[in-house]
Structure 1
C-alpha cells in the first residue's frame, strides 16, 4: 500500500510520458503484492466453512468499486485535470493503509513458509517476455518470428524453474485440484474479459445505443451483483461445485442470447436481461471458484499459490484483446464487425463448455479423495 501511495503521488505531478509509464509499472508491482496478501488474510481470519461468505462480500466490494470508480473519475475530470485522479487515488490508498495498520495484526500465522524470499528473476522475466511476444503474435498471426520468440521465452522459463528460485509454488505440478482450478479460472476470465472489452462497443456500433444507456445497463448489472453477493457466498460455503456450475450455466445462457442479438434479435429489455444473467452468473461463480482454489493449497504457501492464481486472471485481459481484436474490428475503423462478434460468442460458449468439464473433474477429484480417506480409515 505504501508503494501504491508513492506511485500515485508521483504520477499526480508527472509530465514526462516515460516517467509516467515507469511509475504506473511500480503501481502494478504494488497491486501484485496487495492481492495475494488480501487472499491470505481471508484464509487466516475465516474458518474454512466461511471462506465462501468472505469471498462473496469481497466480490460485492469490487462490484461497488465498479459503480463508484467511473462516476467519481468522471466528476473529477469534469472539474480538474487528469493528474487529480492520481492524487485522489493516493488519498484513498493512504486511508486504506492507515486502516490496515490499525486493524490487521502484524502476524497472522505461526506457520513459516518453506524456503527463502528470493525473487525468481529468470522465470518472472521470461514469463513477462513470453506473454508480450505471444500478445504481439495474436495481433500479427503471420509473424512466425514472434511465435518462435515466445516459445524461446518458454524454454528460458523452464530453465528458471529448474533453478533454486522457481516462480511456481513447491508441489504445484502435483496439486491436481489447484491445476484444475487454474485452467477453469483462465477459461472463465477469458469469457468475462471478452464481454467486458467488446460488449459495450458492440451495443454502440451494431445496435447504435447511446453511451448513457450502455452505462445504465452496466450499472444495474453491478448493483444486482452486489445485492446477491451474500447469497452467492453462502451458496459457495454449502454447495461450492453446484453454485459454481449454476453460475456458469446462467452466464452461458446469457451468451447464447447475446449471440442471437447479433442476428438482429433484441430490445433494451432483452439486453438488460442478458447482462443480468451474465452478471448474476459471475456473482455465483467466483466465490465458489476462489474457495475451491484457496482450500486446495497448503496453508503456509497460500500467498504463493494464490498470487499465481490471480496472475492467471490478470493475463486473460491481454489474451482476450489479442485473440479477438483483429476479428471483431472492421478494417481498422475501430468499429465492431457483426460477423466477427458472432464467431467470438461461439468461441466464448466453447470456453465455458471447457470450464464445465473442469467442474466435472473437480467432482471426480473430490469423490476420489473421499474414497481414499475412507479406505485409510478402514485400514487403520
Structure 2
C-alpha cells in the first residue's frame, strides 16, 4: 500500500489576489504567456508545455551526451590531431568538466533574473558554435580552448532546463516531466560511447573524432529555432525589473568550485600531494562565500538563498545527488577503458556494451517520474538498492569472466543498474526541487548540478586512482584492477542509499516525508 504523505504548501503557487484588484489587473492588460506567469500561476496550464519540454530535453541532451561521447574518441584524437599530447587529451576531458561546473549556479541565477528562454538560447547557441570550433580544430590547443567554451555554454544551459520544467509543470505532471529529463540524463550518458563509436567507425579513425562534435550542429540549430517558438519569454514586468547579480558572490563561488574540482580532475596528471591544498583553499573560499552571502542578503538579492539548505528535502537531495554521481559516473569511464585497452574492443563494440544500461535507465526514469508522487524518497531507496545489485553483478562478472565475450555477460547486471539509476536520478530531482520557489528554480537547479559534477569528479578520481594503481601492481591485469576500482564506486552508491534511508526514517518520525 502506498504511504501517505503530508503535502507541503506550494511556495511557487500564485499568490491570492483580492477580487477587486484581480478585476482591474485583468482589464488593464491582456494576459500573455511568459516566465513567472507560468503553468501554475492560474488554473490554466501552458498549452505548449510538452513541446517546450521536448526542446529543453534536446538542448540538455546534447550537453549531457558530450560528457561521455568524447571518452571513446580519445584514441582517435591522439592519433589524428596534431599537438594532441597526453596533457592536451587530459584537458579535453577535465577542461570541459571544470568550465561546466564553474557556470552552473551563476548561469541559473542569470536565468532567474534576466529570462530563462534568453539564457537557454544563448547557451545552446554558444555550445553549437563551440562544437563547430572543436570539429574544425587544427591542433590540440584550439581543441582544448573550444572544449572550455563548450563547458561554459553547458553550464549556462543546463540550469535553465530544470528551472523551465519546474516553472511549466505542477504536481504529477512535474514528476512525469522530470522523469523524462532523468531518462535523457541516463540515456545520453550511457549511449554517448555508442554514438561516438558509430561515428568513428563510419568516418575513420583519423577524422572520425571531428564528427563527434559536428553531430551537435544540426541539433543545436533546430533547438534554437524551436525555442523561440515554444519556450515562454520573460514578461514585460520581469524585463523591466532590476536585479542584483552579486558579482562578489559569483566570483567567490566560482573560485571555490574550481579549486575543489581541479585536484580531482587532474589527479592522474598532477603527481604528489601538493594539489590537495586546493581542497583546503576551496573550503576557505566556500566559508567566505557563505559569510558574504549572509551579509549581502540583508539588503540585496544574493546569488544563492542559503535558506534553501534549511529545507531537508533540498539539502539531503543535493547531498544524495553528489554521492550517487560519484558512484554512477566512473562506471563507464573505467569499463570503456577495460573493454578497449584490455580486451581490444573497437570504439563501436565498447559503446554497444552500455546499451542495456541506457534501456533500463530510460524506461525506469519515465515510470519513476509518474509514481514519485505516490512513493516519495522510498522510490529512491529502491533505485539505489538496484544500482548496488547491478554494480555488484558487474564486479562479479569481471572478476570471474574477463574474456572476449564479457560484453554479453554484462547485459543483465548493467540492465539492473540502469533500472535502478532511472528510479534514482529523476525522482531525486523532482523531490529536491519540490519546495523551491519557481523564481529560484535556476540557481537551485544549478546547485544540484554542481553537486553532481563535484561528485562525478571525486568519483572518477577515486575510482581511477584505485583502478590505475591496481593495474600497475598487477602488470596490467584488468580482471583485478576493474573490480577494485568499481568497489570504490559501490561505496559511493551505498553512501547515497544511506542518505535516502535517513531521509525516509526522519520524514516518518517527523511526519514530513518529501513529496511532489
**Could you say if the C-alpha distance between residues 265 and 15 of structure 1 is closer, same or farther in structure 2, counting changes exceeding 3 Å?**
closer
**Could you say if the C-alpha distance between residues 174 and 336 of structure 1 is closer, same or farther in structure 2, counting changes exceeding 3 Å?**
farther
**Could you say if the C-alpha distance between residues 216 and 306 of structure 1 is closer, same or farther in structure 2, counting changes exceeding 3 Å?**
same
The counterpart of 1:286, out of the listed 398, 411, 425, is 425
CA RMSD between the two structures: 3.4
Partner of 2:291: 162
Structure 1 CA distance for aligned equivalents of residues 338 and 215 of structure 2: 32
Alignment of 1:124-143 (within 5 A): 124-136=254-266, 142-143=272-273
* 1:137 shift after superposition: 5.6
Structure 2 CA distance for aligned equivalents of residues 353 and 82 of structure 1: 36
Partner of 1:15: 138
Partner of 2:499: 358
**Could you say if the C-alpha distance between residues 88 and 196 of structure 1 is closer, same or farther in structure 2, counting changes exceeding 3 Å?**
closer
- Mapped contact 2:361–2:419 kept (Cα < 8 A): yes
Deviates more, 1:310-319 or 1:165-174: 165-174
Partner of 1:375: none
Structure 1 CA distance for aligned equivalents of residues 142 and 461 of structure 2: 26
Partner of 1:378: none
- Mapped contact 1:44–1:108 kept (Cα < 8 A): no
Specify the SS of the correspondent of 1:14. Answer: coil
- Mapped contact 2:200–2:209 kept (Cα < 8 A): no
Structure 2 CA distance for aligned equivalents of residues 32 and 162 of structure 1: 25
* 1:72 shift after superposition: 5.5
Do structure 1's residue 346 and structure 2's residue 487 form an aligned pair?
yes
Do structure 1's residue 102 and structure 2's residue 229 form an aligned pair?
yes
- What TM-score, normalized to structure 2? 0.63
CA displacement 1:34-59 (0-9 Å, x = unmatched): 11101011111111222221122223
**Could you say if the C-alpha distance between residues 255 and 28 of structure 1 is closer, same or farther in structure 2, counting changes exceeding 3 Å?**
same
Partner of 1:123: 253
Specify the SS of the correspondent of 2:137. Answer: coil
CA displacement 1:267-308 (0-9 Å, x = unmatched): 765421111111111112112111111113232211101101
Specify the SS of the correspondent of 2:400. Answer: coil
Partner of 1:44: 167
Structure 2 CA distance for aligned equivalents of residues 288 and 136 of structure 1: 32
The counterpart of 1:77, out of the listed 203, 208, 213, is 203
- Mapped contact 1:139–1:322 kept (Cα < 8 A): no
Partner of 2:105: none
Structure 2 CA distance for aligned equivalents of residues 239 and 306 of structure 1: 22
Structure 2 CA distance for aligned equivalents of residues 217 and 83 of structure 1: 23
CA displacement 1:148-172 (0-9 Å, x = unmatched): 2431232133223323486543314
Partner of 1:201: 337
- Mapped contact 1:139–1:325 kept (Cα < 8 A): no
Unaligned runs of 5+ in 2: 1-123
The counterpart of 1:181, out of the listed 302, 306, 317, is 317
Structure 2 CA distance for aligned equivalents of residues 148 and 220 of structure 1: 40
Structure 2 CA distance for aligned equivalents of residues 325 and 121 of structure 1: 30
- What TM-score, normalized to structure 1? 0.83
Structure 1 CA distance for aligned equivalents of residues 226 and 169 of structure 2: 19
Alignment of 1:209-248 (within 5 A): 210-211=345-346, 213-248=349-384
Partner of 2:281: 152
Unaligned runs of 5+ in 1: 373-380
Specify the SS of the correspondent of 1:297. Answer: coil
Partner of 2:410: 271
**Could you say if the C-alpha distance between residues 226 and 71 of structure 1 is closer, same or farther in structure 2, counting changes exceeding 3 Å?**
farther
